Amino acid sequence: MIGLVVDDSRAMRRIVRGSLERAGMEVLEGADGQQALDVLDAHLAGGGEVPAIATIDWNMPVMDGLALVVALRRRRELRSMALMMVTSESEQAQVVRALAAGAHEYLFKPFTEDALFDKLELLGLMEPATAGETW
Amino acid sequence: MTTMDAAAAVSTGDMVALVGDLWTSVVPFPEEGAAPVEATWPSPAQAVVRGTVDVEGAADVEGAWSGSVVVSCDEESGLRWARAMLALEEDATAADVEDTVAEIANVLGGAVKAQCAGGGRLLLPVVDHGEVGVGPSDPRASLAVSLSWPDAPDAVFTVSLLDA
């Protein structure tokens, strides 16, 4: 199972990557929306499977998270990919915008690994027992 | 646009809680033992000024409250935060410290913005070194929350709110 982590913070990419790897995923990374699209296209062009999930920060340079959600939702071949905003943008109106644009889940920073695992369970990407074995 | 000041935007208790939440949720090694130890409000004269400031990160908020959420730390504290937050087995680098301080400013900026009724906009964080012009010693600082480690009380990490 593949996870795509999109965040302009190297620190946060490292944290989310670690959690997804502990959840049994291989991880791709992008430092902004456009870089994520480039990494994803290269991965798919190489015969890679569609990621099961993309975790997406909101505030990023070049292409922000909302624009990335819109861009990903336009691509039919990526319909199986769950999109989860992982962001410090916790304003209710913004949450609604992201969900309306096609995000499936929302996780506010700061978050615990258990909270991230709960979201993965909710999305059917992780067995509950697995979450209990970690951390 | 008329905006509230930091005192109206975020209470001392909320700010201490936000910093505490950050520590307990993002840093994977709570046994290292940092915890919010001091908070001052609202007089700038009471702002906590301890140790030196070597690295500073700031995330600007525009909206119901406009200002900067500033994260200030000395080298030792920055290295400790980076090592803990990034789960590094090796020593943290200067780039690790920059990333960590920027992300902490970003997370706290978002949290502070969320506290402000009426919303607003969170800008991308910036990081500076050395003689920077903001921080708990800045006369505009209206709230400072500091953390230090039990085994290194001089390694201080401070979060300040500065009205625009």
Residue A135 has pLDDT above 80, yes or no: no
pLDDT digits (tens, 9 = 90+) for A36-79: 999 999 999 999 999 999 999 999 999 999 999 999 999 999 99
**pLDDT band of A131, cuts 50, 70, 90:** very low
Residue B123 has pLDDT above 80, yes or no: yes
Q: How many contacts (CB atoms, under 8 Å) link A and B?
A: 67
Residue A12, chain B, CB below 8 Å: the answer is yes
Q: Which of A38-52, A117-131, B38-52, B74-88 has the lowest mean pLDDT?
A: B38-52
DSSP letter assigned to residue B92 = P
pLDDT at B148: 67
Name the amino acid, one letter, at B54. D
Pairing of strands B120-122, B55-63: antiparallel
Counted residue by residue, chain B has a size of 164
Name the amino acid, one letter, at B100. T
Residue B67 CB neighbours (<10 A):
24
Q: Give the closest residue to A5 by CA, choosing from A70, A80, A60.
A: A60
Predicted TM-score of the model (pTM):
0.81
Average pLDDT over residues B104-124: 85
Residue B122, chain A, CB below 8 Å: the answer is yes
Contact A11 B86 (CB under 8 A): yes
ipTM of the complex in this document: 0.77
- Please name the residue of chain B whose CA is at the shortest distance from the CA of residue A90: B114
Residue B69, chain A, CB below 8 Å: the answer is no
Q: Which residues of A touch B21 (CB under 8 A)?
A: 110
pLDDT digits (tens, 9 = 90+) for B69-97: 988 888 888 888 888 788 777 888 888 89
Residue B117, chain A, CB below 8 Å: the answer is no
pLDDT at A23: 94
**pLDDT band of B112, cuts 50, 70, 90:** confident
Residue A24 CB neighbours (<10 A):
13
Q: Which residues of A touch B110 (CB under 8 A)?
A: 59, 87-90, 108-109
| CA B106 – CA A50 distance, rounded (Å) | 30
Q: Which residues of B touch A66 (CB under 8 A)?
A: none
Q: Which one is predicted more confidently, B4 or B57?
A: B57
Name the amino acid, one letter, at B82. A
Contact A110 B119 (CB under 8 A): no
pLDDT digits (tens, 9 = 90+) for A88-115: 887 778 888 999 999 999 998 888 888 9
Residue B16 has pLDDT above 60, yes or no: yes
Within 8 A by CB and 6+ apart from B153, the residues are none
Q: Are B15 and B39 in contact (CB under 8 A)?
A: yes
pLDDT at A49: 97
